[in-house]
Amino acid sequence: MKHVKIREKQSNAFLVAVSAVVLGLVAGAILMASIGSNPFTGFWFLFRGGLMNIERVGNTLATATTLMLVGLSVAFAFKTGLFNIGASGQMLIGGLCATLVAHKVFLPRPLYLIVLILAALLGGALWGVIPGFLKAKFNVHEVVATIMMNWIAYWSIYYFIPAYLKGPSLETESASIAVTQSLRTPWLTKLFNGSYMNLGFFIAIISVIVIKLILDKTTLGFSLKAVGSNRHCAEYAGIKVNRNVVISMMIAGGLAGLAGLSFYTGYSRNMQIGVMPAQGFDGIAVALLGASSPLGVLFSSLFFGILQSGKGFMNAMTSVPPEIADTIIAVIIYFTATSVLFKRFWDAVLKRQGDKAKKKEESAQAEVKKEGE
């Protein structure tokens, strides 16, 4: 009985997310129709683009990997009441650290992977912990601090890469790392028919599980959530609010650093300068649609992964511009943000069904009585 109640609430969040997605797709369909395209063929090619063969599935998963880790980063900070807009910068620094390791460190594969992962984790965590510290010590708002950190990362990389990691031909990107130094592995590449699929996907899945366990089962998660939902009460209870803010930003930064790892040494194999990774902001959408829960982030990143990786194919096969996919994502976010409306709607629907069932039961009972007479 008690467990049923809790499950009910979760299914509510799920229902809200699904409603937002459906309405987002409907809005996309209307847009397609309004520019004279057939929405059905548009969606057909959009989803085919993401899923039609094993190679494309691999690419979708590789795209989703980065989104999943960034989404997890934003969601985790959000649980502690912090808004991490700095995932882009944390991704860049995590990616930079990983790229450095990939160029300079040569070790047996398992050991090498551990060093690589740690480098990205620490780079991202450093970029997260600085705004966390500023917030805790000087009450600098984390939104301002993380945005600043984004640009510090952006410009640092702008000059660092040409100076130290310059590619052989192009000034605007780093030298490619060897495939053997990346997250790609022969068996995965073969399995997914030469797609971008890489070990980052497993890192993301493990991260989802670890973060879920931290939030649900550990004292660390307990204190982080207490600080996030009422810092006054947390302080009163003896929980160190500032320390938790720093820890939360550190973990969030580390997750975004892993996203950088998956993107720069898995999905691609070099870093371009002068590009702020858009995934850092798409991750906010992933976290919102996933209701800031790790499992929610897992599913919403897979969905956004399909849209992102399918939009090019849709554009190639039809006259629908790829921006439609971004528009659909934007509309979904609007509907997620106004999820209160859906909640009311579903509550009303569920209640009406309940009432109907009750009435049916009553009238059935009445009939039985009549028959008895």
Partner 1 sequence: MSHVIEMLNIRKEFPGIVANDDITLQVEQGEIHAILGENGAGKSTLMSILFGLYHADRGQIKVKGKEVHIHDPNDANDLGIGMVHQHFQLVHNFTVTENIILGKEGGFLLDRRSASKKIKALSEKYGLNIDPDMVIEDITVGMQQRVEILKMLYRDADILIFDEPTAVLTPQEIDDLMEIMRNLVSEGKSVILITHKLNEIKAVADRCTIIRRGKFIGVVDVKTTSASKMASMMVGRPVNFKVEKKLAQVGRVILDLHDLNVMSNKKVLGVKDFSLSVKAGEIVGIAGVDGNGQTELVEAITGLRPVESGTITLDGNDITHADIRRRNEIGIGHIPEDRQKRGLVMASSLFNNVAIKEYYHSPFSKHGILDADYLREYAQKVTEQFDVRSGEGIFSLAGKLSGGNQQKLIVGREVVADPELLIAVQPTRGLDVGAIEYIHSQLVAHRDKGHAVLLVSFELDEIFNLSDRIAVMNSGELIDVVKTSETNEEEVGLMMAGVRQKDGEQ
For binding to partner 1 (CB under 8 A), which residues are involved?
2, 5-6, 217-220, 222-223, 225-226, 229-230, 232-240
Q: Can you state the angle between helices 279-289 and 294-317, rounded to 10 degrees?
A: 120
- Alpha-carbon gap, residue 71 to 50, rounded angstroms: 20
Shortest Å distance, C-beta 254 to partner 1: 18
Closest CA to 303 of 4, 35, 29, 71: 71
Shortest Å distance, C-beta 205 to partner 1: 21
- Which C-beta is closer to partner 1: that of 187 or that of 236? 236
- Burial class from Cβ neighbours inside 10 Å (0-12, 13-18, 19+) for residue 132 reads buried
Shortest Å distance, C-beta 292 to partner 1: 13
Element spanning 321, H or E: none
- Which C-beta is closer to partner 1: that of 169 or that of 219? 219
Shortest Å distance, C-beta 348 to partner 1: 13
Instruction: Output the CA torsion 6→8→12→18 (10° steps).
Output: 110
- Which C-beta is closer to partner 1: that of 237 or that of 364? 237
Shortest Å distance, C-beta 247 to partner 1: 13
Tokens in use for 69? 């880790």
Please state, in angstroms and as integers, the Cα–Cα distance from residue 170 to each residue in 69, 81, 176, 273, 309, following that order: 29, 42, 11, 11, 26
Contact 265, 99 (CB under 8 A): yes
Instruction: Output the CA torsion 119→124→130→132 (10° steps).
Output: -130
- Helix, strand or coil for residue 174? strand
Strand partners of residue 173 = 272
Shortest Å distance, C-beta 232 to partner 1: 5
- Which C-beta is closer to partner 1: that of 2 or that of 370? 2
Shortest Å distance, C-beta 79 to partner 1: 11
- Alpha-carbon gap, residue 75 to 133, rounded angstroms: 19
Q: What one-letter code names the amino acid at 258? A: L
N residues, the chain: 373
- Which C-beta is closer to partner 1: that of 217 or that of 360? 217
- Which C-beta is closer to partner 1: that of 9 or that of 370? 9
- Which C-beta is closer to partner 1: that of 191 or that of 350? 350
